[in-house]
Structures are given as C-alpha cells and as structure tokens.
C-alpha cells in the first residue's frame, strides 16, 4: 500500500463548495515540499464573482501515523487560535463523501517554511533577528491555552514518553547502543511536571514548522504531535541540533540563543525556566527525532509511504546518535586510532566506470540539471536523492573495511565473536541491563556511530566552531 499520492481537483472543489458554503472551482492545486508523514496541498478556491480563497489541505497519505487525528487537530487549531496563538484559520474537515481521505482545509498564510532559506537568505535577515523573541512569546501563549477549551489529548510526561519510545525502539528490532545509553540517562534524570501541572505542549515546535515572512514569524504549523505534559519540552525540542540545519552555533533553531528564548518566554508570561530542565528535553528530543526517523524509514520499507525522503531518514539516525553522545557524555575526544580503516574496494569483472563512478554521475546529473530545472517538492526530493547517492558512493568506496573494523573491535571489547549485527545488539543489551559505562564501552558506542556517519554524513562529526 503506497497511500494516496494525487488529488482530483473536481472532488476537492465539491468538498470546498460544501465546506465554504458557496460554489467554487479549484485552481493552482500543487503539493508543497516537506511533509514526510502527512501531505500538504496548496490551492485557490475561486467563486463565480472572482473571489479567491487562498487555502491549504492537510491530509493523511494513508494509514494514520501521528498521535493526533485530523478531527482533533482541526479542533485544536480552533482552540489555540481563539487563545491568541498565531495559527492559520481552519475552514472545514473532509468527510467520507468527499473521497479524498482524512484531512482538513485551512487558510494559506504567505511566507517561507524551508528552514535553510530562513537561516541563509538575505530577505530574512531582519526576521532572524526577531525570531527568538517571537518564539518565546508564542510558546508562552501556547502553554497558557486553557485546557478546558482543548479536544481530548494524551497526557505524556517524561516517564510516559520514555515508556512509549522504549516500546517503539523495541518494536523496530534494530538495536542502537547510543539510544540505550540515552534512555538510561533520561530515566535517571526524569523531571516531575512543573508546579502548575500539565499544559498544552505543541510537540513539534521548531524551525521548519514556522511560517516566516521578512518581518518574522507569521504562524505555527504541524500540531499532530500535540499533547498535555511538561511545557519545557517545547523549549528543548526547538534546541535539538537537527533543527539548526547546519547553523550549529545558534542553539535555538539555528537563529537564536537559549538565554534570549527563556527571557522572552518569561516576559510573555511563561513560568521561570531552569536551563538544565531545557537540556533534559533537548536530550529527549534528540532521541525522539531518531526514533521518528526510524518510523518514517519503516513506512517506506514496508510500502506504506514510498518516498526517497523517508528512505533517507533511515540513515539520519546516526546523526541523532552522535548528538546524544555529545549531550550525555560530553564532546567527542576524537577518533580512536585502533578503529582506523583503510578503504579496500572489492575487485570487479565489470568495465569502467566503476559502480562508485556510475553513482557519482547520476548524483551530478541531479545536482547540476534536475535541481536547477525544477522547483518545490520535485527540487526538494532531487536534493534528497543526490544526498542519498552520495551515501552510496561513500559506502561503495569504503568497501568491506569499515564493517570489518567495527566487527573486530566490538568482538575484542565484548569478548565474543559474531556477525556485526549480533555484536551491536549485545552492546545495546549490556547498556540496557545496566552494565558499567567503562571507557571501552563508551569508545565502542562512539566509534560505531562514527563509522556510520563516515558514510551517511561525514561532516556531521566535525565539532562546531
């Protein structure tokens, strides 16, 4: 099952006519980039007198993946909008007679959501100066939303989420020693709910889910991970390194500093914040994103949502592992010489070019021709595809040497010989069961992750300036 991948404009026009209460036609229907788990479609609903309603459809591509259903998210957006939060106005829900799947329609707000443009393009320079304060203010409003106005939401404090993500990790059957190390730390340091009790938590408040105009933040999107819980979770999530998009020296979303975020949050009515409390949720958020990457990759692997973006996310798990090690253990001391690898490509009976060079040729075509000739979702996926081919190039070039080195060193540290997957599982099991985190164990975890990053993203392990 690959899920719905297209929309009939006439069917959408019929649904919009019902939802808006006036006959409309649909123009400019296009799928927007991003949305690995849910689809976002932009369109104009045009009346006979020439009025144009700029709208967006948020739709599940198939099986429900997130925590909040479409109807609950629709009601939630109405509630937070009434509380003064910056969100698009919701218009109507799809229903079974529309034959368009599960989703809802809301107003389209002009602005940019692509984080790399927000962080780098000159036209957003002024916005970058305002975003930290605006995020603090917006989070304070979200967390002040009266609970009795909200739809039914799960209560997920730290222990509940540890249990939830523990179950997800076990369900994948792909052990990650770095995840086990992080889960131990999170369990030992789990905070209680703040004095004020559980509040509304957005759950995915970050750069990439904000609509940003040259003047700053215009709206907060993607509420499907919302729940009741510790409000500081949102402040930790926006600090996760993955949401800095390469601007690693600005901890808040690649554009701001934590002290400034906290100051704006408190000034707007939020409760005082302990930076160590934020750090806890930054660690948890990093683990959470790693597990979500596994979920999205599994959706691709099992045919639920086939997508090059989802496939690539499976290799991004190593980035979150690296970040967890830095957050929990401290900065990387540098590569251990004992784990060094000399690439040794396998022999081949085939003619030139080599498999590595064939992959490079396709990657270069995507980078030089396809990306320049396309826009929107196609250009975004072309960039993702080029990155994937870069991974394949590096894996082919390294040959079997990397895996052999990891297996040999793990076998020495663990005192047993087995295939590399079994050794990684044994390392994860020992950490989960409380084995001491001696230097050999820590080195084994870090160097195994470093070996994966050498293929998936070799620049990621380079310390930020």
DSSP 159-228: HHHHHHHHHHHHHHT---HHHHHHHHHHHHTPPPPPTT--EEE-S--STTSEEEETTEEEEE---TT-EE
d(Cα 385, Cα 362) in Å, to the nearest integer? 10
Place of tokens 């989070």: 139
- Residue of 56, 223, 248 whose CA lies nearest to 138: 223
Q: What is d(CA 15, CA 29) in angstroms, rounded to the nearest whole number?
A: 14
Question: Which domains does the chain possess?
Answer: 9-107 (3.30.200), 115-310 (3.90.1200.10), 327-454 (no CATH)
d(CA 328, CA 442): 11
Q: How confident is the model at residue 32 (pLDDT cuts 50, 70, 90)?
A: confident
Task: List Cα–Cα distances, 78 to 66, 151, 225, in angstroms.
Answer: 19, 10, 16
The one-character DSSP state at 306 is: -
Work out the pLDDT band at 286, boundaries 50, 70, 90: very high
Lowest-pLDDT range, 103-112, 372-381, 386-395?
A: 372-381
Residue range 1-14, pLDDT digits in tens: 344 468 999 999 99
Query: What pLDDT, on a 0 to 100 scale, did the predictor assign at position 415?
Result: 95
Of 11-20, 98-107, 211-220, 301-310, the one with minimum mean pLDDT is 301-310
- Mean pLDDT (whole number) for 397-416: 91
pLDDT tier for residue 37 given thresholds of 50, 70 and 90: low
Backbone angles phi, psi at 22, to 5 degrees: -150, 140
pLDDT value of position 348: 85
Q: How far is residue 377's CA from residue 31's CA, in Å, rounded to a whole number?
A: 7
Q: Is the pLDDT of residue 352 over 70?
A: yes
Query: Which of the four pLDDT bands, split at 50, 70 and 90, describes residue 41?
Result: very high
Average pLDDT over residues 421-446: 96
When pLDDT is averaged across residues 354-381 and rounded to a whole number, the result is 93
Check whether 17 has a pLDDT greater than 70: yes
Work out the pLDDT band at 64, boundaries 50, 70, 90: very low
Instruction: Please tell me the predicted confidence (pLDDT) of residue 39.
Output: 86
pTM for the model stands at 0.93
pLDDT, tens digit, 9 for 90 and up, residues 229-279: 999 999 999 999 999 999 999 999 999 999 999 999 999 999 999 999 999
Read off the pLDDT band of 93 (50, 70, 90). Answer: very high
**Which H or E run includes 45?**
strand 39-47
**Residue 335 above 50 pLDDT?**
yes
Q: Are 105 and 119 in contact (CB under 8 A)?
A: no
CA dihedral 45, 46, 48, 51 (to 10 degrees): 110
DSSP structure class, residue 104: E
| Rounded Cα–Cα distance for residues 238 and 126 (Å) | 20
Whether the CB-CB separation of 62 and 305 falls below 8 Å is answered with yes
Residue, of 455 and 34, whose pLDDT is higher: 455
Give the 3-state secondary structure of residue 253.
coil
Higher pLDDT, 306 or 255: 255
Q: What is the pLDDT of residues 132-161, one digit of tens each?
A: 999 999 999 999 999 999 999 999 999 999
Average model confidence (pLDDT) across the chain: 93
pLDDT of residue 68: 84
Q: What is the pLDDT of residue 236?
A: 98
Helices of type H across 330-438:
355-365, 371-373, 376-398, 401-414, 420-432
Confidence band for 36, pLDDT divided at 50, 70 and 90: low
Q: Is the pLDDT of residue 101 over 80?
A: yes
């Amino acid at each position: 099952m690959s899920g719905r991948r297209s929309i009939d404009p006439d069917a959408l026009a019929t649904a919009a006519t019902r939802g808006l209460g006036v006959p409309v036609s649909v123009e400019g229907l296009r799928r927007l980039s991003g949305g690995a788990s849910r689809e976002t479609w932009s369109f104009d609903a045009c009346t006979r007198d020439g009025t144009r309603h700029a709208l967006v459809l948020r739709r599940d591509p198939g099986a429900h993946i997130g925590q909040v259903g479409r109807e609950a998210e629709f009601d939630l957006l109405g509630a937070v909008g009434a509380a003064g939060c910056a969100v698009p106005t919701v218009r109507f829900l799809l229903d079974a007679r529309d034959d368009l799947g599960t989703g809802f329609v809301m107003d389209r707000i002009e602005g940019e959501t692509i984080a790399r443009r927000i962080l780098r393009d000159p036209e957003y320079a002024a916005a970058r100066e305002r975003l930290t304060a605006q995020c603090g203010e917006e989070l304070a409003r979200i967390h002040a939303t009266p609970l009795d106005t909200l739809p039914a939401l799960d209560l997920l404090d730290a222990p509940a989420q540890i249990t939830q993500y523990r179950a997800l990790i076990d369900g994948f059957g792909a052990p990650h020693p770095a995840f086990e190390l992080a889960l131990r730390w999170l369990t030992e340091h789990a905070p209680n709910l703040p004095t004020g009790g559980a509040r509304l938590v957005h759950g995915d408040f970050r750069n990439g889910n904000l609509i940003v105009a040259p003047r700053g933040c215009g709206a907060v999107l993607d509420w499907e991970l919302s729940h009741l819980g510790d409000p500081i979770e949102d402040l930790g999530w926006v600090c996760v390194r993955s949401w800095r998009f390469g601007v690693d020296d600005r901890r808040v979303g690649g554009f701001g500093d934590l002290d400034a975020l906290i100051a704006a949050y408190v000034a707007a009515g939020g409760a005082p914040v302990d930076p160590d409390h934020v750090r806890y949720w930054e660690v948890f958020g990093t683990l959470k994103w790693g597990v979500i990457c596994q979920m999205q990759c599994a959706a691709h692997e099992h045919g639920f949502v086939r997508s090059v973006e989802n496939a690539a996310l499976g290799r991004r798990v190593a980035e979150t592992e690296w970040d967890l090690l830095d957050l929990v253990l401290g900065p990387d001391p540098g590569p251990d010489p004992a784990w060094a690898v000399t690439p040794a490509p396998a022999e081949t009976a085939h003619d030139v070019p080599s498999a590595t060079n064939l992959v490079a040729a396709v990657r270069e075509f995507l980078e030089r021709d396809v990306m320049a000739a396309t826009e929107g979702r196609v250009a975004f996926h072309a960039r993702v595809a080029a990155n994937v081919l870069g991974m394949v190039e590096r894996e082919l070039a390294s040959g079997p040497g990397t895996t052999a080195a990891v297996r040999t060193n793990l076998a020495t540290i663990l005192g047993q010989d087995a295939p590399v997957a079994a050794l990684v599982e044994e390392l994860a099991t020992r950490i989960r069961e409380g084995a001491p985190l001696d230097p050999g164990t820590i080195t084994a975890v870090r160097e195994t992750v470093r070996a994966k990053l050498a293929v998936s993203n070799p620049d990621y392990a380079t310390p930020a300036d």
